[in-house]
Amino acid sequence: MIKKVSFILLIFLTLSSVSFSQDIGKISDVEKTSKKNITWALIQTIPSVSWTNDRNELNSQNLFGLKWNITPINISFSTNKYVSPVQFFMVNPMRKYTGSLEFFVQPEWTLSAFDYSGYQRFGVAAGTRVNIPVNNMGEHLYVSLGGKYNFRKNSETDKNGYYSIEGGAYILFGILGLTFNYNFDDRTRYNFGINFKYW
């Protein structure tokens, strides 16, 4: 009996010493922030798609375009007292979809010219939106509501932009979403898009 226990104890100690004697250079708890930041920045360059309304008194069309979403400041409503509710640029997705207020900048570029309204192809929007969780703390579904100002030059009317309100619904932890914007401008009434957000 003592021989069996000694043999089992010897095997256990041998196996545990092998599993704990791995090379320290291969395993590290140090986070490599430069790799993480570079990877995150490269992934953010992948655009979402949008369609922007282009119209005048006689004609109307929807123009296909690309847009990017940059969030310089996000204020979460669901953090505990040990963590700051404010994050800059690299926002933890859980903080976003569980309820937050964010300030954003949105560069937009249409692939064809605004033939009817006279707006330029490139524009930048800046605004704020509130993200509200709907299902499973926002992991399965959350909605957003916000407002923005679109800086886009018009060569026909000498306008430099217009105001918009925005609504959206997002699924799959906020990775995929549909957005709709109502623009307070007679020459571009609306735009809608499919948002892809890569964390």
Q: Does 3 map to a domain?
A: no
pLDDT digits 0-9 by tens, 9-62: 666 556 555 444 455 556 666 777 778 788 888 888 889 999 999 998 899 999
Distance CA 117, CA 190 (A): 13
Q: Does 27 map to a domain?
A: no
End-to-end CA distance of the chain: 57
Q: Does 40 map to a domain?
A: no
pLDDT digits 0-9 by tens, 119-161: 999 999 999 999 999 998 888 899 999 999 999 999 888 889 9
Q: Does 39 map to a domain?
A: no
Q: Does 43 map to a domain?
A: no
Q: Does 157 map to a domain?
A: yes
Give the phi and the psi of residue 111 in degrees, each rounded to 5: -80, -15
pTM comes to: 0.75
Distance CA 88, CA 68 (A): 17
- Single-letter code of the amino acid located at 51: W
Q: Does 23 map to a domain?
A: no
Q: Which residues span the domain enclosing 59?
A: 48-196
Q: Which helix (H) or strand (E) holds 116?
A: none
Task: Report the range of poorest mean pLDDT among 76-90, 107-121, 149-163, 164-178.
Answer: 76-90
What is the total count of domains within the chain?
Answer: 1
Q: Does 170 map to a domain?
A: yes
Question: Cβ distance 160 to 135 under 8 Å?
Answer: no
Look up the CATH number of the domain holding residue 185.
2.40.160
Give the phi and the psi of residue 138 in degrees, each rounded to 5: 90, -10
